Structure 1
């Protein structure tokens, strides 16, 4: 009887040691759920990363990097992440503020070198902070791919770039705001925009990515696919990674900046974006390297008003994960959808990127992002 009990104990111990642990079973469950979400919403590829206690605990990719070649998507592939890029521009500005090279309250006209004034309120100064918080009263109606759109010396219709409300007393999300901000980064730092971000954010954090297509390995670009809502088909969007080699040859520092799209042109992987996100979650510091001060990080994360919930390229929302107030940003362009959100007190965060999916939304979030984030939260973090 004693020998039988010993044998039984050995068998139970062996089973415990060799059976998949809870972590492994959670991982299998999460991946099955994510693939189900992809199938339901026609996602081509999906790349995710999860941070817990300020550490990257999970990173994985699913689906295809490129449909035409049937190449699988991997964690090393990089995406043009669209509007999450704005936070890199804002982080750069905060570095320059700390270096006393500018102030958030500076008159933007003085910073950019031409008149930036709402014609309905010509005496009202439009500050740098107003542009960064989308309260400048500037809009994208004249386009945002070059600064001529809002320059009175270049565009006879420059007045159309302004809304009817007084600067600082209304909100409209505007891409031109951040292309203008990128030009100021060049003017006050003396470095070309893409190089500044590389030297002062990416390199210190040991991240692979950037705004300049020619400086990156094109074989790592995940092809982006735009969805045709009429024919229900996907088409590749090569413009997402269009090289601007000829334009760069004639580059004018502090004016040609939209070539690199400070408002949306960062290319980076989900796992490296998660490391950058962790820096913001930890109030400007990652693995002993301080990128911005605690004061700057808090300011970026502080919403300008309860109506918009937008700070300086960081959005606050309680609509993403039930019961949690999250901070971060989304992106959408060329068929891509991206999300980077963290919970600063509980020290967790999630990055989700898809290179193409059905454009369905709930509570203002693309469904692939929303469902994937909640699946990852429930599996790894709850």
Structure 2
């Protein structure tokens, strides 16, 4: 099912012609070493770019970023010490330090807390690049779900497909930046995890469970209910949206920094359609009154992308992979569209680009993945049923 890793294979546009698949197994330390060894080039590239990104968006040097990251260690250890062990293995495999890998995994906490502080001080600062558009479409006989992941263009050269066989718990797959523990994906227990970054005035970077480590914890969950409970039980550092799909249902969980009281849940049953971008949509007045939603300020196209995606989706009589491919390829509001392209008028680190686009059939355990802009990149199906059953 998976191709041999080929980091040098490029298409005419300079983007990878196919995903770099990384398969790991065993203990957390062993898995980390396998992951870091395979992606050493990509991890080093990420470190080089994020040093500049942290300085530009958060006024944080790399030394300060790693020092801040280490203050999160006690919270992570209390939640799941295996995450620390795996990051140590990634560092060993990639030939970098543990604080380097930890600081990569805290990119959301460092970047958005820096942006929130600047807004609170009345300084707009650099424009943040666009983020993600996620959906769950349950109007047909089988769910069709997925998302575009938009980020800074350098991530085209660092994205990998991480396939993991842990010693215990479900197998899982995630499309992620090299060195990070997870982003969106699905597991052998029938759970699909999609996500959107959010930011509020409460995002000040206080120690708590980091966003990308929570995504890993969700992919390790045995059920949709268990995943939801992990989000409620965690003391979270960042605002984020988690769209969880399983057993023909979808649960969207909007969170702010904090615990169980800082969560709002929207349930989507059969026949439902739900789209989320980078602003809060909860109609829970108590939840909505907590803090200030900075999403429309930090990621100004978020309102357009959600409205446009819903408009296009509602034209489909029922969900199909091909239909959602067209939606995720849409260029309305170009270049900051659902299918996002770099704007050459902007600074390189302020540009956005659709790095990966996935349409997932959860019941068939198939991920249709376009690595790069879905308007020009062929969408390839990757069937995970054999891997999830231990047959591949």
Superposition TM-score, scaled by structure 2 size: 0.25
- By relative contact order (CA 8 Å, sep 6+), the higher-ranking structure is 1
- Which one has a bigger Cα radius of gyration? 1
